[in-house]
Amino acid sequence: MGASRTNGSRTNGSRTDGSRTDGSRTNGGFDVDALLADDTVGIVVCCGSGGVGKTTTAAALGVRAAEAGRKVVVLTIDPARRLAQSLGLTVLDNTPRAVTGLDLGQGGRLDAMMLDMKRTFDEVVEAHATPEKAAQILANPFYVAVSSSFAGTQEYMAMEKLGQLRAQADREGTWDLVIVDTPPSRSALDFLDAPKRLGSFLDGRFIRLLAAPAKAGGRAYLKVFSAGVTLATQTLSKVLGGQMLIDVQTFVAALDTMFGGFRERADQTYALLKQHGTAFVVVAAPERDALREASYFLDRLGEEGMPLAGVVVNRIQRVAAPGLTAARAAAAEESLDDAGAGESTTADLLRLHAEVARTAARHAAVVKRFRTGHPGTPVAEVPAASRDIHDVEGLRTIGDALAAG
Partner 1 sequence: MSDTAPAFPGVRLHVVTGKGGTGKTTVAAALAMALARRGQRVLLAEVEGRQGIAQTFDVPPLSTQEVRVLADGSGGEVWGLAVDAKAALLEYLQSFYKLGRAGAVLEKVGAIDFATTIAPGVRDVLLIGKVYEAVGRTTGSKRGRGDLAWDAVVLDAPPTGRIGRFLNVNAEVADVAKVGPIRSQADSITRMLRSPRTAVHAVTLLEEMPVQETVDAIAEIEGLGMPVGAIVVNQVREPLLGEAGLARVAKAAESPRSRGALAKEVTAALGTAGVRTTAALVDGLLAEATDHADRVALEAEQREEIAAAGRPAYDLPWLPDGVEGGGLRVLADHLLEQGMV
Q: Please, which of residues 284-323 interact with partner 1 by CB under 8 A?
A: 285, 288-290, 319-323
Pairing mode, strands 71-76 and 109-114: parallel
Least Å distance, CB 192 to partner 1, is 16
DSSP strand pairing (97-98 vs 109-114): antiparallel
Residues between 72 and 101 that touch partner 1 (CB under 8 A): 78-80, 82, 85
Q: Does 49 bind partner 1 (CB under 8 A)?
A: yes
Using CB under 8 A, pick the residue from 64, 70, 161, 353 that binds partner 1. Answer: 353
- Decide if 198 contacts 237 (C-beta within 8 A): no
Does 36 contact partner 1 by CB under 8 A? Answer: no
Q: Which of 1, 104, 349, 364 binds partner 1 (CB under 8 A)?
A: 349
Q: Which is nearer to partner 1, 274 or 368 (CB)?
A: 368
Instruction: Count other C-beta atoms under 10 Å from residue 397's C-beta.
Output: 17
Nearer to partner 1, 252 or 301 (CB): 252
Judged by CB, which is closer to partner 1: 150, or 270? 150
Q: Pick the stretch among 65-73, 104-112, 282-290, 392-400 that binds partner 1 (CB under 8 A).
A: 282-290
Instruction: Select the residue interacting with partner 1 from 8, 13, 51, 373 (CB under 8 A).
Output: 51
Q: Is 351 in the site for partner 1 (CB under 8 A)?
A: yes
Binder among 1, 138, 253, 332 for partner 1 (CB under 8 A)? 332
Nearer to partner 1, 71 or 363 (CB): 363
Pick 169 or 285: Cβ nearer partner 1: 285
Shortest separation between residue 111's beta carbon and partner 1, angstroms: 23
Chosen residue from 95, 100, 235, 268 binding partner 1 by CB under 8 A: 235
Residue 328 binds partner 1 (CB under 8 A):
yes
Question: Interface with partner 1 includes 242 (CB under 8 A)?
Answer: yes
In whole angstroms, how close is the CB of 350 to partner 1 at the nearest point? 8
Compute the least distance from the CB of residue 194 to partner 1, in Å.
Answer: 10
Among 184, 261, 277, 376, binds partner 1 (CB under 8 A): 184
Nearer to partner 1, 108 or 213 (CB): 213
How many residues touch partner 1 under the rule CB under 8 A: the total is 85
327 makes contact with partner 1 (CB under 8 A) = no
Q: How far is the CB of 323 from partner 1 (least distance, A)?
A: 5
Question: Residues 173-193, buried b or exposed e (16+ Cβ, 10 A)?
Answer: eebbbbbbbbbbbeebbbbbe
Q: Using the rule CB under 8 A, which residue among 215, 296, 390, 397 binds partner 1?
A: 390
Shortest Cβ distance from residue 276 to partner 1 (Å)? 31
Among 1, 3, 189, 236, binds partner 1 (CB under 8 A): 236
SS3 for the chain, per residue?
A: CCCCCCCCCCCCCCCCCCECCCCECCCCEECHHHHHHCCCCCEEEEECCCCCCHHHHHHHHHHHHHHCCCEEEEEECCCCCHHHHHHCCCCCCCCCEECCCCCCCCCCEEEEEECCHHHHHHHHHHHHCCHHHHHHHHHCHHHHHHHHHCCCHHHHHHHHHHHHHHHHHHHHCCCCEEEEECCCCCCCCHHHHHHHHHHHHHCCHHHHHHHHHHHHCCCHHHHCCCHHHHHHHHHHHHHHCHHHHHHHHHHHHHHHCCCCCHHHHHHHHHHHHHCCCEEEEEEECCCHHHHHHHHHHHHHHHHHCCCEEEEEEEEECCCCCCCCCHHHHHHHHHHHHHCCCCCCHHHHHHHHHHHHHHHHHHHHHHHHHHHHHCCCCCEEEEECCCCCCCCHHHHHHHHHHHHHC
Whether 324 and 358 have beta carbons less than 8 Å apart is answered as no
CA distances from 231 to 153, 207, 237, 320, 366 (A): 29, 15, 10, 70, 54
Minimum CB separation of residue 80 from partner 1 in Å reads: 6
Residue 219 lies near partner 1 (rule: CB under 8 A):
no
Binding-residue pattern over the window 160 to 179 for partner 1, x denoting contact by CB under 8 A: --------------------
Q: Tell whether residue 209 is a contact of partner 1 (CB under 8 A).
A: yes
